[in-house]
Amino acid sequence: MIDIHSHVLPFLDDGPDSYEHFKELARQAVSSGVTHLVATPHHNRRYENPKDKIIKHISHCNQYLKMKNINLTIYPGQEYRIHREILNPQKENEILTINQGNYLLLELPPHEVPDYTNEVIYELLLKSITPIIVHPERNKELQNNPSMIYEFVQEGALIQLTAGSVIGKFGGNVKKLASRLIDHQLVHVLASDAHNIHTRGFCLDEAYKEISKSFGHQCTTYFQKNAKNILENKEFQIESPRHIKKRFFKFF
Ligand SMILES: [Fe+2]
């Protein structure tokens, strides 16, 4: 199983603070069925984790996993907190796309949606970077106005839900919104966003079970295929936003 969003690397952000905790988290990933894991440390908020720093760290961590006989491969990535100057030439070389391909995890602030969000999506796409908006179901403004998520998709962004949201770990309202977004085909991929083994662990397997139960096995296959395509930097088919729009506004 492929997981494209995690905070598994030690010492870089609010993930593990020791190699011991990194090892425990990596073991939890393996026991939940993850084989390919993208490490996506936060960048440009409380933490500064530019491209070069992450790549160097990943190579050490993969060596460590081999030494400990943990059957998990970690790939480079980054969770980039949105800002207006993201493509400023001085900041541009800090960006680390998933496995150095064309997809970037883009994080919004937890409570609002900056008024330049669509502009940033457009600018990234012009540079052949497809932004993946992470966990919109946990953003307060989007919870109150979920139609904005449709606008992001129409603009060309992809949407990633957190696995924990699907199984109710962030409360009933978040679970309900996650479910509606899937129902309206506004979700492209699922990921764990794992931080630690206790409160924010790996539960992608449980989330996929829930999705198969509620939406059918084909829906799980679609998300898993997209995760693979993102990691391998391939394109995939997205349902026409025009088709989504009609159904979406009917419900929101
Ligand atoms: Fe994250």
Tens digits of residue pLDDT in 6-41: 999 999 999 999 999 999 999 999 999 999 999 999
Q: Give residue limits of the domains in the chain.
A: 2-251
Record the tokens describing residue 91, joined without a space.
């900041």
CATH architecture assigned to 2-251: Alpha-Beta Barrel (3.20)
State how beta strands 158-162 and 130-134 pair: parallel
Report CA torsion sign: 174, 152, 126, 230.
Answer: positive
Helix (H) or strand (E) run with residue 59 in it: helix 51-67
Q: Is residue 105 within 8 Å of residue 160, measured between CB atoms? A: yes
Residue 128 banded pLDDT, cuts 50, 70, 90: very high
Report CA torsion sign: 161, 8, 1, 197.
Answer: negative
Distance 14 CA to ligand 1 centre (A): 9
Distance 250 CA to ligand 1 centre (A): 31
Q: What is the pLDDT of residue 251?
A: 47
Distance 105 CA to ligand 1 centre (A): 9
DSSP 185: T
DSSP 6: B
Q: Is the pLDDT of residue 244 over 60?
A: no
Distance 247 CA to ligand 1 centre (A): 30
Q: What is the pLDDT of residue 92?
A: 86
Q: Is residue 142 within 8 Å of residue 136, measured between CB atoms? A: yes
Distance 30 CA to ligand 1 centre (A): 19
Q: What is the pLDDT of residue 246?
A: 42
Average the pLDDT over each of 35-39, 127-131, 175-179, 237-241 and give the range with the smallest value. 237-241
Tens digits of residue pLDDT in 195-239: 999 889 999 999 999 999 999 999 999 999 999 999 999 986 565
Q: Is residue 134 within 8 Å of residue 5, measured between CB atoms? A: yes
Distance 211 CA to ligand 1 centre (A): 21
Distance 243 CA to ligand 1 centre (A): 30
DSSP 247: H
- Return the higher-pLDDT residue of 246 and 52: 52
Distance 7 CA to ligand 1 centre (A): 6
Distance 244 CA to ligand 1 centre (A): 27
Tens digits of residue pLDDT in 72-120: 999 999 999 999 888 888 888 999 999 999 999 999 999 999 999 999 9
Q: Which residue's structure tokens are 């190579």? A: 59
Record the tokens describing residue 144, joined without a space.
């109150």
Distance 40 CA to ligand 1 centre (A): 7
